[in-house]
Amino acid sequence: MTLTYLCTLPLPDSWFEQLADRMPDVEIHRHAPDSTPSAELLAEVDLLHTSEWLPEAAAVPALRCVQLDTSGVDHVRGTSLWDSEIPIATLGGIAPIPMAEYAMMAILELSHRMPLIERHRADRTWPTNAERLATLTPRELRGATVGIVGYGRIGREISRLAEVFGMNVLGVSRSGRPPVDAEKFDTGRRSVAEDRAELFAMDRLDEVLRRSDFLVVVVPLTELTRGMIGAQQLDLLPPGAHVINIARGGIVDESALLERVRDGRIAGVALDVFDDEPLPPTSAWWSEPNALVTPHVAGLAPQYHAQTLDLVVENLTRLAENRPIVNEVDRAAGY
């Protein structure tokens, strides 16, 4: 059985050459995302590999899988594809390693007061001994506790790295049970047996917040998680805690967070995602001395092309064999 594959992403020619070598029986089509494929082609597509370009479900009657180039699916909700029965697969599993390394980098930078140190560098000022002791003494990670809200593939890799530094790890997920690895693409490759985190269900989030010296937010953006870390939740954190958001804007109340950073209740933050992206030049976060601000880069994967190719080949193979796809979105859960 010949499958028809359509890609709307600007991947290099070599990527498609490798796909053709690995899947010689697949009919491969490429199309620019700013134009519309012919109705004849859309009617034949079995797997659509795309990001933002989403056709009406009625236009793709043969479609058996939408392979997204994103881990999040908030941009798909409300479309006719979302409302259809066509399986949707995410890019999940590509970024656990770089995102976990980013989270650990942020924990280290915040604990060693790097945002303030960088401010001294920008101003070309050398702090006095008293200033160094008062504002630049690092916080020791050994024995500190990191709470990871959204304990899936990325959270487990963060946990592995944090354990190396002697940190205690609390993981929060919907079920509070170890993640199920079946039908998931994962470049982190950490078995559940290796996982030593203390796990909690979402209804015990407050308990985790009270114990977290470092809070890492990596939960998907859904109707249930939108605004889940607000003023009330931030006030449960221990005095001098740090907050790291590598999930999506809209999950953490940015205004409440900024207020608590400025009054010292929260010692520092690392933010890679924001309510408004690109972050406007007028945003107060740019000039906040206790904030590490980055332009949504935590999930950039150095091995993106090779790993994405493996994922697409896996799902094409599964379609050819009439098996369930990997990384299928749970529409009821919203991710």
Angle between helices 13-22 and 304-320 (to 10 degrees): 40
d(CA 222, CA 231): 19
Instruction: For residue 248, give every residue at least 6 positions away whose Cβ sits within 8 Å of its Cβ, in sequence order, or none.
Output: 72, 74, 220, 221, 273
Distance CA 239, CA 252 (A): 18
Q: Say if residues 38 and 59 touch (Cβ distance below 8 Å).
A: no
User: Who contacts 282 (Cβ-Cβ below 8 Å, separation ≥6)?
Assistant: none
The amino acid that residue 66 corresponds to is: V
Question: Among 248, 254, 260, 288, which one carries the catalytic annotation?
Answer: 248
**Known active-site residue 296:** yes
Measured between alpha carbons, how far is 214 from 192 in angstroms, rounded to an integer?
Answer: 23
Question: Active-site residue 277, yes or no?
Answer: yes
The residues pairing with 244 across neighbouring beta strands, listed in sequence order, are: 216, 270
Catalytic residue selected from 17, 118, 194, 277: 277
Question: 30, 120, 296, 331: which one is catalytic?
Answer: 296
Active site residues: 248, 277, 296
